[in-house]
Amino acid sequence: MRVTCPHCGSKAIITSRENVADNVSELYCSCSNTKECGATFVTSLAFKHYLNPPRGDTAQLAASLIKNLPNNIQLDLLGL
């Protein structure tokens, strides 16, 4: 992950991190362009959503859906 300075666009260095909530952190950063900028700032990092859910979650969801189907449909899905 690359953080850039919001002022000059140079690469920034993450100096520390503070978790503020589940899946949300504040990153304390400093601009690496110390001669011309030298800004320090705080930016947020948050989990938004999955593009592909974890495999275990997908299998568990599928099993739960199948268990709620009538027995004849479950057997049909299995080819029996």
Instruction: Decide: helix, strand or coil at residue 77.
Output: helix
CA distance 11 to 33: 8
Tokens of 19: 């978790």
Say which DSSP state 32 is in: S
pLDDT 10s digit of each residue in the chain, 80 long?
899 999 999 999 999 999 999 999 999 999 999 999 999 999 999 999 988 877 777 778 888 888 888 888 888 887 87
- The pTM score is 0.65
The closest alpha carbon to 69, from 15, 32, 78, belongs to 78
Torsion, Cα 68 70 71 75, to 10 degrees, reads -90
